[in-house]
Amino acid sequence: MLGAWVFVFSFGRNGEDMPGIEPDGDRNAADGKDAIVVEIGKRRIQKVVTRLLVGIGVILVLGGLVFRASLIEPDAYRAALAMSHADAEDYRFEFEEKLIDLGTVVREKEQWKTTITQSEINGWLAANREFSKTLPSGVSQPRISLSDARMSVVFRCEVMGVNAIFQGELDVFCTEVPRQIAFRIFNVRSGWIPLSVNAIADQFTMGMLAYGADVEWAEMDGDPVALVLFPAESFRLGKTVLTVKAVEIEEGKVMITGGSKSNR
């Protein structure tokens, strides 16, 4: 009997030898380890979620800044848009009168030169409803500014339901091919955001095609150049054939020099 009590007592002191019974100390240790693992997992998830939210926030902020930057209107464009309807009609009339007078001059002289102002062109663009109908879909309110031997063309273009501002700086000059005028594009941007020329190349080509012109693209010192071949009708007044020899851009005006020849 004494030996049996000793046997039971010894197993009671060393619970690991008791079948079906787990020591209290080992169970608490396991629970502690599980709690640590769970806590580590929670912290990792929190870090991942935090980083994800921060990343989304940065993207949204940058997207907002890019969106706002694409809506920035250049000062010259804002001034051109501010032209009153009455002034636009007056400048359109002056522009068309100048073209009529030029038609008379080229019939009488073999060499001719004309100067067209920035205001006359913008007035014509604003007031000529027939011209606005020929613009590519999504393009509206084109205006120009002339300075530093460059022409800046600005217009609105609908992108995903938003009217962004597109601007391109050009140099315009004649080539050796009769009726062909080159447009060298220095840069294109939307608001303050630089863009690839491809962003407006299609619209430019479509606009020229609408007037019956053919467009080829080339390069000059890394800058894209649109070679626009205008139809013969654009350079003919009755039996008089016109030749454009030079296009010079100065502050607020463009000067065009050419010649004429009668086909009588």
Give the percent of the chain with pLDDT over 70.
69
Q: What is the pLDDT of residue 249?
A: 92
Q: Is the pLDDT of residue 6 over 60?
A: no
More confident residue, 131 or 13: 131
Average the pLDDT over 232-258 and give the result.
87
- Residue 119: the pLDDT is 95
CB 226 within 8 A of CB 203: no
Q: Is the pLDDT of residue 69 over 50?
A: no
On the question of pLDDT at 197 being above 70, the answer is yes
Mean pLDDT of 220-229: 90
CA gyration radius for the chain?
Answer: 38
In sequence order, what are the residues at sequence separation of 6 or more whose Cβ sits closer than 8 angstroms to the Cβ of residue 59?
none
**Over residues 168-195, mean pLDDT:** 84
List 247's β-bridge partners, or say none. 256
How confident is the model over 216-231, as a mean pLDDT?
Answer: 90
Give the DSSP per-residue string, 140-166: EEEEEEEETTEEEEEEEEEETTEEEEE
- How would residue 46 be classed by pLDDT, with cut points 50, 70 and 90? low
Question: So what's the pLDDT on residue 43?
Answer: 61
Which of 86-100, 126-140, 151-165, 235-249 has the highest mean predicted lDDT (pLDDT)? 86-100
Q: Does position 64 have pLDDT exceeding 60, yes or no?
A: no
Q: Is the Cβ–Cβ distance between 119 and 127 less than 8 Å?
A: no
Least confident of 50-59, 76-85, 126-135, 201-210: 50-59
d(CA 95, CA 89): 10
Tell me, what's the pLDDT at 113?
92
For 76-87, write each residue's pLDDT tens digit: 888 898 999 999
Beta bridge partners of 216: 227
**Close Cβ partners of 185 (under 8 Å, ≥ 6 residues apart):** 168, 169, 170, 197, 223, 224, 225, 226
pLDDT band at residue 227 under the 50/70/90 scheme: very high
Task: For residue 66, count other CB atoms closer than 10 A to its CB.
Answer: 13
| Of 15-24, 86-95, 115-124, 186-195, minimum mean pLDDT range | 15-24
Can you give the residue ranges of every domain in the chain? 2-67, 75-262
- Mean model confidence pLDDT for the chain: 75
* Res. 240: pLDDT tops 90: no
Most confidently modeled range among 33-42, 67-76, 120-129, 235-244: 120-129
